[in-house]
Structure 1
Amino acid sequence: MARDGYPQRIVCLTEEPTEALYALGEQDRIVGISGFTVRPPRARKEKPKVSAFTSAKIGEILKLEPDLAIGFSDIQADIARELIKAGVEVWISNHRSVDGILAYIRRLGAMVGTHEKAEAYAQRAEAHIATVRAAAAKLPRRPKVYFEEWDEPIITGIRWVAELVGIAGGDDCFPELARESLAKQRILPNGDEVVRRAPDIILGSWCGKRFRPEKVAARPGWDTIPAVRDGELHEIKSPIILQPGPAALFDGLDAIHAVIADWNRGSEK
């Protein structure tokens, strides 16, 4: 801690704190970022990359003399433990919902002494969500949407994704699995249940690799799924939907809503 009593040298172990701190105008506090960071683009040019998602360059982080490291979820527990053992203060958030993302923005702002800016930013996100929800309410039909987070094994979407699908005008095909916080709890043994639930739209966001709709369409029995039959397989880029941060509430939500709106226009023909 230094001059204003708030952290001055922050290492961001995932992308969402980096994006949020830049949005709040507090990027000068960041001294290291995740190598997976793509938002905002300037962060990759300005900040040293010191971590992946499940691993980190502990020695390089310690050389930066951070007074706070920020990460996400149980998956980063080992990184957190090593940093704590080295005397670094660590905050690991574990939010999994849209409300959780909004609360995260507010808490992060409070932690760096910019409560008012964080509140204004969170309210802007809430207003955007309300605008999309209102537009979605005007659509004539709500499609059944299957969101795939990974292909081998098949992993369905996490809670904030399912909630954003609902806000955007669709109904998530696996709402009971979306409540499960761990990816291993959202693994499908095979694709039969997707076939049975017959989604109108398939959204793919394979973390770290390009979504291949032709591979999905070629799965045994999937040719009977309405989404496959009608060619409604779409990629949502992982940086805008798989990070529980601002990107999901703005660009991620917009991308999902655009697909659902287009589907509605097509179904009217």
Structure 2
Amino acid sequence: MTLGPQRIVCLTEETTEWLYLLGQESRIVGISGYTVRLRRAREEKPRVSAFTSAKIDKILALQPDCVLGFSDMQADIAAALIRAGVQVTVFNQRSVAEIFSVLYQVAAMVGQGEQGLALMADMQQQLVAIAKAAATLPRRPKIYFEEWDMPHISAIRWVSELMGIAGGDDCFPELTAQSLGKHRIIADGAEIIRRDPDIIIGSWCGKKFRPENVAARAGWGEVKAVQTGQLFEIKSADILQPGPAALTDGVAALHRIVMAWSQTYA
């Protein structure tokens, strides 16, 4: 007997990727238009939503028995679908622990709890190995992670936690508890200069990071990261989706940047 929902619409990328990793892609009938990872999914599945908007009529035409969403930002989409009689589950994970919890819940929903736990164990082992390597660093770099450029928005909680695992320290740890980007805005760019990060990482929510534009900001020539050329991009699909990508490719990219910095500047 096949367990769980059979016709799933994924309003964000991380649940799509996870269902593919679980070998349950046949259950997916619709995906987010922002899906980048797993090109195969983009080629195979109809795109029915953005992030804060969706084609409700197109979703209903797919006759889903489950729609999976993420965050309060999708509350209006969820409400419209619920009123139309659709089963909707919206997750709101913001930390590494919460990401793992959601991965298990989704795996259990499709009858793949044991396989999900096995895949999650591999991810957890990778995180432990990275943390052990980071513990040997003679000095931890200060990292400014920029989620958006204008206005400046700093790292969401899971990114900040992954930076810590990778061996760096978030320049704005006090903002990570804020779930919404508008509450992580750094209104005074001079404060970033004052905190003087060793490394700057940009991930501009799907927009290409321009290190030359960052370096040219007024007064930023005084920042260590700019002076040493330590400005990097991590694609938002790899780090800003709260699912498998962040726990694998995202944290690995952070760790490579930190280790390379340590070999020269620690």
Q: TM-score, normalised by structure 2?
A: 0.98
Query: Aligned partners of 1:5, 1:261: CA distance in 2, in Å?
Result: 44
The answer to whether structure 1 residue 113 and structure 2 residue 96 are counterparts is no
Within-5 A mapping of 1:19-30: 19-30=17-28
Matched-pair contact (CA < 8 Å) for 2:206–2:235: no
1:234 is aligned with what amino acid?
Answer: F
Deviations 1:175-227 (A, max 9, x none): 11011111110001131110111100000000121001111111111111100
Identify the match of residue 15 of structure 2 among 14, 17, 26: 17
Query: Aligned partners of 2:187, 2:3: CA distance in 1, in Å?
Result: 51
- For residue 125 of structure 1, give the secondary structure of its aligned residue in structure 2: helix
Query: Aligned partners of 1:24, 1:135: CA distance in 2, in Å?
Result: 29
Structure 1 residue 5, shift from structure 2 partner:
4.3
1:194 alignment counterpart: 192
Identify the match of residue 101 of structure 1 among 99, 102, 110: 99
- For residue 146 of structure 2, give the secondary structure of its aligned residue in structure 1: strand
1:7 alignment counterpart: 5
Q: TM-score, normalised by structure 1?
A: 0.97
Matched-pair contact (CA < 8 Å) for 2:71–2:91: yes
Structure 1 residue 61, shift from structure 2 partner:
0.5
Deviations 1:204-261 (A, max 9, x none): 0001210011111111111111001111000011100000000000000000100001
Query: Aligned partners of 1:38, 1:141: CA distance in 2, in Å?
Result: 35
The answer to whether structure 1 residue 180 and structure 2 residue 178 are counterparts is yes
- For residue 187 of structure 1, give the secondary structure of its aligned residue in structure 2: coil
Deviations 1:39-73 (A, max 9, x none): 21110111000000011111111010000000100
Within-5 A mapping of 1:59-74: 59-74=57-72
The answer to whether structure 1 residue 258 and structure 2 residue 256 are counterparts is yes
Query: Aligned partners of 1:164, 1:205: CA distance in 2, in Å?
Result: 14
Within-5 A mapping of 1:118-137: 118-137=116-135
Aligned length: 266
Query: Aligned partners of 1:5, 1:225: CA distance in 2, in Å?
Result: 55
1:48 is aligned with what amino acid?
Answer: P
Deviations 1:14-44 (A, max 9, x none): 0000000001111111000001101211101
Query: Aligned partners of 1:266, 1:50: CA distance in 2, in Å?
Result: 47
Query: Aligned partners of 2:216, 2:173: CA distance in 1, in Å?
Result: 25
Query: Aligned partners of 1:12, 1:75: CA distance in 2, in Å?
Result: 15
- For residue 193 of structure 1, give the secondary structure of its aligned residue in structure 2: helix
Within-5 A mapping of 1:104-253: 104-253=102-251
1:267 alignment counterpart: 265
The answer to whether structure 1 residue 48 and structure 2 residue 46 are counterparts is yes
Please list every run of 5 or more consecutive structure 1 residues that lacks an aligned counterpart in the other structure.
none
- For residue 205 of structure 2, give the secondary structure of its aligned residue in structure 1: coil
Structure 1 residue 139, shift from structure 2 partner:
2.0
Please list every run of 5 or more consecutive structure 2 residues that lacks an aligned counterpart in the other structure.
none
Q: CA RMSD in A?
A: 0.9
